[in-house]
Amino acid sequence: MEAKKISEGLSVSPQIVADDITEIAKLGFRSIICNRPDGEGADQPTFDEIAKAAKKAGLQARYIPIVAGKVSDGDADDFGQALDELPKPVFAYCRTGTRSATLWSLSQAKRLDASEILRATKDAGYDMGGVVRRIVNGGKTPTDNGDARFDVVIVGGGAAGISVASSLQARRSGLEIAVIDPADIHYYQPGWTMVGGGVFDASTTAQTMGSLIPKGVHWIKAAVAAFEPKDDAIVLDGCRVVKYDRLIVCPGLKLDWHGVEGLVDTLGRNGVTSNYRYDLAPYTWELVSSMREGEAVFTQPPMPIKCAGAPQKALYLSGDHWYRKGVLDNINIGFYNAGGVLFGVKDYVPALEKYIDRYHADLNFFHNLVEIDGVAKKAWFDVVKPGEETKRIEKSFDMIHVCPPQVAPDFIRVSPLADAAGWVDVDQATLRHKTFANIWSLGDVMNAPNAKTAAAARKQAPVVAENVVADIDGKSPVAQYDGYGSCPLTVERGRIVLAEFGYGGALRPSFPKWLIDGTHPSRLAWLLKEKILPPIYWKAMLRGKEWMAKPEKVSVK
């Protein structure tokens, strides 16, 4: 007997025998549902045997037999009704537990999001991919097989998605391409650090999605509920089905604000802010520009995160403002990093450490923010140093800039596209999926070991476009990605340490050293960040103009 928890009210199990009932009762279960028809296997007890043992142990029992592979809509309704009526928690079983898990999934489809159902069953060891359309359709069998079909479908209309759509059009103008994204607004997220530093106005970092989708590309304004890669299909919320010949997955990542207890309740007030959200970045500047004394805390969660340098960029620009205003000596700056280094590429660390010293910032490594009380102005960190026991510390603040934990979107993590950690599983050079040959991924959602930055997506888009077109022509991949990423570290207003690197931390500068030496603060790099990169983003990258982004050819051995 093996109970696999699906929810607080239900666990499922493979076939049990009457002797298991005593143990089931001891585990706290109050009811049993049998989903296996009598006589299906020569070695199974009848339901009457199970029911008698259950009654003796004080448990209720119900018989909802299901023929393997034939779970009807009515069966799911019966199971849901039983869950509502029986004392909880309930123990359900069949031959392997799959029918019971399927019945639960379909019965809860109108009550829970599809991603919650898929995550719960996946965590218990059951794959609901075969009934995902029914889950999305409220537990009912869909009546259609496909509402639309395209040569290429792109999931995500962010920097990666629009760039790769434009790059594909530039190479093969006749393709029928669709971009799936429910958002009305597209954001230039690299600009939010500058908003939080009082350099940019937030409105300059936003444009309507409709104005950016390339002409001739179909925009499906909907959310993805699930993938069915074996059928070349995507299921949308509302159970519409989109079919594709080739799929590109780039929906970005999920900012897990709920990953820090109490954070959601206090964001945007009580001195709690974050440059990782459009509406909060102006509050960062409001706090910084008005602060004259006190405790300023800046946090960084465990990797991976979007733009690993962003948490300390907020520190530097804040410290520089206080330095210029002559109040720095009255402000204690603390940087609390869940990792063990200031920056992952060692060549840039010496320049950054000089600014840490300049702003008298206290570095705290292996400190992960786990809870916050905005009203009390207190934060708690778990200190997890190698070889030591975890301990929790408390820190008071007057302002705190929080970088939230970050994970793959729910609909990605529970999909067949994901690796064990939840990210889309690709070959790090060609960006092609390791299992499904007609699927590619780029941007923050895939699992290549590169920095998750817009600059990385700028280099990845041409690689994916080249390889998709090659695949259409029946060829092997022709372009490869070298792991390039860029992080313009705004160490003070007017100077930037321009970190550019690839796989393994190899330096990959875009400019000759005599022009910009990325390992040292540079005024020219600041000009690039402030004046040049925003128009390049809007007018070049998103329009398929691949300036300084020519794909590297696959080497022939």
Both tokens of 192, joined, read 């939010």
d(CA 201, CA 179): 29
Q: What are the phi and psi torsion angles at 25 (to 5°)?
A: -65, -40
Under 8 Å between Cβ of 323 and 358: yes
Type of residue at 357: D
Task: Return the pLDDT at 39.
Answer: 87
Low pLDDT (below 70) residues in the chain: 141, 143-145, 238, 556-557
Task: Return the pLDDT at 136.
Answer: 87
Task: Return the pLDDT at 138.
Answer: 85
Task: Return the pLDDT at 133.
Answer: 84
Under 8 Å between Cβ of 509 and 518: yes
Both tokens of 427, joined, read 């070959």
Element (H, E) at 406: strand 406-407
- Enzyme catalytic residues: 307, 487
Q: Beta strands 378-383 and 367-373: pairing type?
A: antiparallel
Task: Return the pLDDT at 516.
Answer: 93
Task: Return the pLDDT at 73.
Answer: 84
Please choose, from the candidates 253, 230, 242, the residue with its C-alpha nearest in 3D space to the C-alpha of residue 156: 253
d(CA 314, CA 294): 17
SS (H, E, C) 174-207: CCCEEEECCCCEEECHHHHHHHHCCCCCHHHHEE
Element (H, E) at 395: strand 391-396
Under 8 Å between Cβ of 195 and 314: no
Task: Return the pLDDT at 72.
Answer: 81
Both tokens of 58, joined, read 């004080």
